[in-house]
Amino acid sequence: MGNHCTRSSCCRKVWSYICCCSSLNKTQAKSQKGSCFVKGKVHPVSRMEKWEEKITEANSNGKILVVNFKASWCLPCRKMAPIYQELASTYTSMIFVTIDVEELAEFSNEWNVEATPTVVFLKDGRQMDKLVGGDAAELQKKTAAAADLLLRQS
């Protein structure tokens, strides 16, 4: 199936059966949903109000917003989750968020997300880079490049 999932019904059906095997248990998921935003943390965005909060925070502080569009049924998304968390812990000058493509389907479509995972890098509300698929090395490379850009601009 490759290193990404399309949003086709076939992929959803296959991966929905293994959704219960996710590395994030229900208690952890509940605690993350209700938590406040902290540096070095991946912030789940499930409502447009939270999106507006994060984009405003990034824009007003000159930060890069790293947006991971994912799906619970997508195996490459789950494989990338610990790497994405590690990047958030390493690059605390950037804001890392996740958006479930099914929770915010219309919003995901506005960003032309056709496969998961899709990671979009935003600076001043504009897309500066994009990665489609679960390529950990490429995600690390693009994140480091974004961090370098921030350093050069400061």
How many alpha carbons lie under 13 Å from residue 22 in its C-beta half-sphere?
20
**Dihedral (CA of 45, 48, 4, 25) sign:** positive
| Start-end of H helices in the chain | 9-16, 26-33, 48-60, 75-90, 105-110, 136-153
- The one catalytic residue in 5, 20, 21, 77 is 77
Active site (annotated) includes residue 5: no
Q: Return the closest-CA partner of residue 72 out of 31, 22, 8, 1.
A: 22
| 3-state secondary structure at position 66 | strand
| Token duo for residue 19 | 């959704």
- Catalytic site includes residue 10: no
| Active-site residue set | 74, 77
